[in-house]
Structure 1
């Protein structure tokens, strides 16, 4: 086992967008210094861009002090309506059992989200932000990574231990330096996006999706509410669409008024996008990890871009921190590719199916879509086949080398739309209230993100569990007893544990293992697996060996 390093060298984070900002804040939370680089001279001040922030991403942001703020400023939408031509097919509201701290989705412009994260970064002395640094050279060596950057004043050389590349969709130069491929395809149709400020109170808490409306025949329109009486409208437009010409000749005004009528409005921001489905072949290249749009691109229908990128950042941050602090060997970082590449492929599969429905590429797909939409007008049984985007959800790491599968719990896989997998190995733990560590009422996920969390259910030998943890890792480890912290019964109801089990929770709040009747060997084996150590149980250490940072529960 490695020993703790006294002062880790900084991690170099490339890209000061939401994914890079999140990575920097999470690394600093683990007491790892960061140099945050961006090729732009300053922050882009406006533009909705990625607006749908998913509940579990808000939870990640709250771990660095930003989630509640973003949720309070954003618009919570509770209803999603789907139309075909000018008739409503169906609507649905999100199921909330009343336990989650955050709403299912919050709409807030990316520009405002970045401002909130910037405020948290400004208060963090471990993060050094450097704008106007365009990476033109990258050299890996045994001790770390050296970047050569082009700046307005010439060149700058920046050294660090590892690189987390969050350089966005235009990170071609970084991908080329690493020699990774970016396979996939791009869609010919464009999408026009306008942020419109106007008064439409009836639409202020619902998302609207239109197939083939009379005011955009043969194509789609998506409308999202945003703060300050602003609505984000996405039109699918032809490949040869000219935004500048339409704006100058008044056709853009006519396009907007077909939706909002004669009421006054202002255009806050407008842009034209072409969507892509791409993923790199490797998300780890030596001392460089790729994250967010630099590693994968998906269409926005389902809000899987930014949300997945933030989950990349959390996955990378705790693993880099464990390696830098000597709590795990470098082999742990191989699991970053295993887990997040699988998540990227899942997102590509889901959004690819959506885009085939939205933008049929052949006569067969076109006829199939028309048949489903026509049938959905009178047959509710066809509604599940209408694909306007499966909304973002956290990925389940059941296939990860860090996960110990259970003989009694089912292997997690894609659940029915709108639901989550049953808690078990690989799955994100439920967000329920508990009482632990003298905090009174708190949330299970808040406690889980402090290191490894061991949850004892029923009668287990606490001494043996402690000894096994001390044998495997010097990382922070805490032990809770379900019957002591679950005062409302919500956690037991969510987990549905069997008697005499040990639930091992990772630092990103995913379940690593559920160990029945845990003894020294089975506990050690599961902990070795989740830290990336060899799976054979380590030699027993004396009972007087220093224990990890336990706190009673």
Structure 2
């Protein structure tokens, strides 16, 4: 990676010596290693639920360079629940429309969110440092309100040892080493995870023989806030494909497909990068290089995300190619899935076996992402002449025939994973819409006084539509929220009816703290709700 010039170097948690560095190893319920977006989202979610969490990061703030830039609707909905969504959308560049070109010709365009009735857009573009800063700002607000979250900068984990019932960590700081203990350790320390290496664990999957150049440039341009992708771009020396995306502060993301056999050092020289950018933008366009990098496509994952008291999330657990925006977005879904489960386990309200369902569900999500990412990569970089003939024929047909457009794969963009058929899912009534079946993330809908997802506040919820909810306040000590909606009075756009009832006149949904549907019925008794909730927390399996 080459940092040419980047102004975002937020020093949000500068190093401070703490008393624990001079004491015997102190025990913490949850320790997170890695202060990137996944570590901070997990810490914020746990802290808001009242579970004490310590974040150890080897730096003092967010990283430099854009890195991830496309954050999907589901990620923004999770950020809303954590108190960071408004800041992200205010700073980000909103977009729903993408265009695909083949040479000079536009093949077609697509709208990622053609229907109305959602609070958040399909995507925003927001440089990862800004995304991380929004999370840290939300953590500071939560700390001020009493949330038990601590962040220690320049605390590098140099060793870890699993003991009976806890993990012992060796930590290095500017004032020397010390040790701490963790009941649970969450490794959010990136694709090169030191924790994974210390445990001698590996990835399984593929590394693709191709290289892509990222060039973030600062310029004033009239291009719209859309995703533009070229197969065989018409610009001289711009590779087999190219991508153009707008970011905040007049920064534009440009990707060039370089091929496999390249001189990386030569390609990262400013004059080489400028030659490609000049060919794309034209010689008279003024710009500055902000950040550049070369990456290869990798589609890999750990076999299991939980190893005793150590749990892996985000890039430390799985990697996918950047096209499709599935990396950071899937990592935030990891955090969303893990936090409520670990919170219940720490509080003694659920068995440790519930954490195995994290590996099951998010492993299922990783497989889905890898499958889509691999297909995108194979379409972008055909591995044989016949594959290239097929790819080019699809692009030609797509210009005039709608049936061919779903076959065009410039990166299947991130959507929430549906945990179909997995162990925590409860009963289903197939007469209700497939969109909101058990395992699916709840779909937003406008209400008379806001949006549906804003009312699902990170606890188990009984959503009763056109009927009364059973009078249950808790199950085995787990709080249960009740939300009753009348489509006649509370559904101004008819979205609740369409997305949650279909042809039915009433329904009751049990919704998990991560806003995924646990079970649903047209009519339900109290004992059925209790049984479904116990299943959702790893009991009665």
Structure-1-length-normalised TM-score: 0.86
After superposition, the Cα gap between the structure-2 partners of 1:490 and 1:375, relative to the gap in structure 1 and judged at 3 Å, is closer
C-alpha distance in structure 1 between counterparts of 2:325 and 2:152, whole Å: 29
Tell whether 2:136 aligns with 1:118: yes
Partner in structure 2 of residue 197 of structure 1? 218
Partner in structure 1 of residue 483 of structure 2? 480
C-alpha distance in structure 2 between counterparts of 1:452 and 1:209, whole Å: 41
C-alpha distance in structure 2 between counterparts of 1:449 and 1:96, whole Å: 27
Partner in structure 1 of residue 163 of structure 2? 141
CA deviations on 1:478-537 (whole Å, 9 max, x unpaired) are 1222228735343223211634542100001111001343224422321221121125xx
Partner in structure 2 of residue 160 of structure 1? 182
* TM-superposed deviation, 1:244: 4.5
Partner in structure 2 of residue 108 of structure 1? 126
* TM-superposed deviation, 1:378: 4.5
Partner in structure 2 of residue 449 of structure 1? 457
* TM-superposed deviation, 1:388: 0.3
Query: Matches of residues 179-218 of structure 1 in structure 2 within 5 Å?
Result: 179-201=200-222, 203-214=223-234, 215-216=236-237
Contact 2:468 2:484 in 1 (8 A): no
Tell whether 2:132 aligns with 1:127: no
Tell whether 2:70 aligns with 1:52: yes
Partner in structure 2 of residue 259 of structure 1? 280
C-alpha distance in structure 2 between counterparts of 1:461 and 1:23, whole Å: 31
C-alpha distance in structure 2 between counterparts of 1:218 and 1:110, whole Å: 26
Partner in structure 2 of residue 383 of structure 1? 405
C-alpha distance in structure 2 between counterparts of 1:281 and 1:246, whole Å: 35
C-alpha distance in structure 2 between counterparts of 1:143 and 1:434, whole Å: 46
* TM-superposed deviation, 1:9: 4.2
C-alpha distance in structure 2 between counterparts of 1:501 and 1:117, whole Å: 35
After superposition, the Cα gap between the structure-2 partners of 1:74 and 1:520, relative to the gap in structure 1 and judged at 3 Å, is closer
Partner in structure 1 of residue 34 of structure 2? 15
C-alpha distance in structure 2 between counterparts of 1:361 and 1:380, whole Å: 26
C-alpha distance in structure 1 between counterparts of 2:375 and 2:364, whole Å: 17
Give 3-state SS (helix, strand or coil) of 2:209's partner: strand
Tell whether 2:531 aligns with 1:525: yes
Query: Matches of residues 212-227 of structure 1 in structure 2 within 5 Å?
Result: 212-214=232-234, 215-216=236-237, 219-227=240-248
CA deviations on 1:20-78 (whole Å, 9 max, x unpaired) are 11111111111111111123x33355311100011111111122221111111111123
C-alpha distance in structure 1 between counterparts of 2:43 and 2:334, whole Å: 12
Query: Matches of residues 466-505 of structure 1 in structure 2 within 5 Å?
Result: 466=472, 470=474, 472-483=475-486, 486-488=490-492, 489-496=494-501, 498-499=504-505, 501-505=507-511
Partner in structure 1 of residue 19 of structure 2? none
Could you tell which deviates more after superposition, 98-107 or 213-222? 213-222
After superposition, the Cα gap between the structure-2 partners of 1:477 and 1:248, relative to the gap in structure 1 and judged at 3 Å, is closer
After superposition, the Cα gap between the structure-2 partners of 1:218 and 1:109, relative to the gap in structure 1 and judged at 3 Å, is closer
C-alpha distance in structure 1 between counterparts of 2:270 and 2:513, whole Å: 55
* TM-superposed deviation, 1:217: 6.2
* TM-superposed deviation, 1:297: 0.3
CA deviations on 1:262-288 (whole Å, 9 max, x unpaired) are 111111111111221101000111111
Structure-2-length-normalised TM-score: 0.88
Partner in structure 1 of residue 364 of structure 2? 342
* TM-superposed deviation, 1:152: 3.8
* TM-superposed deviation, 1:384: 1.8
Contact 1:409 1:424 in 2 (8 A): no
Contact 1:482 1:492 in 2 (8 A): no
After superposition, the Cα gap between the structure-2 partners of 1:304 and 1:527, relative to the gap in structure 1 and judged at 3 Å, is same
CA deviations on 1:108-165 (whole Å, 9 max, x unpaired) are 1111112222222233432221222332322233442221123343322122221111
C-alpha distance in structure 2 between counterparts of 1:394 and 1:34, whole Å: 26
C-alpha distance in structure 1 between counterparts of 2:446 and 2:199, whole Å: 44
Contact 2:30 2:52 in 1 (8 A): yes
Partner in structure 2 of residue 5 of structure 1? none
Could you tell which deviates more after superposition, 342-351 or 54-63? 54-63
Partner in structure 1 of residue 79 of structure 2? 61
After superposition, the Cα gap between the structure-2 partners of 1:291 and 1:479, relative to the gap in structure 1 and judged at 3 Å, is same
* TM-superposed deviation, 1:179: 4.4
Give 3-state SS (helix, strand or coil) of 2:435's partner: coil
Partner in structure 2 of residue 549 of structure 1? none
Unaligned runs of 5+ in 1: 1-7, 413-420, 436-440, 536-553
Contact 1:460 1:500 in 2 (8 A): no
Could you tell which deviates more after superposition, 147-156 or 244-253? 244-253
C-alpha distance in structure 1 between counterparts of 2:291 and 2:111, whole Å: 29
Q: 1:328 aligns with which of 344, 350, 354?
A: 350
Contact 2:418 2:439 in 1 (8 A): yes
C-alpha distance in structure 1 between counterparts of 2:203 and 2:269, whole Å: 37
Could you tell which deviates more after superposition, 233-242 or 159-168? 233-242
* TM-superposed deviation, 1:399: 2.0
C-alpha distance in structure 2 between counterparts of 1:179 and 1:407, whole Å: 45
Unaligned runs of 5+ in 2: 1-26
RMSD across aligned C-alpha pairs, in angstroms? 2.3
C-alpha distance in structure 2 between counterparts of 1:65 and 1:407, whole Å: 33
Query: Matches of residues 219-238 of structure 1 in structure 2 within 5 Å?
Result: 219-238=240-259
* TM-superposed deviation, 1:442: 3.1
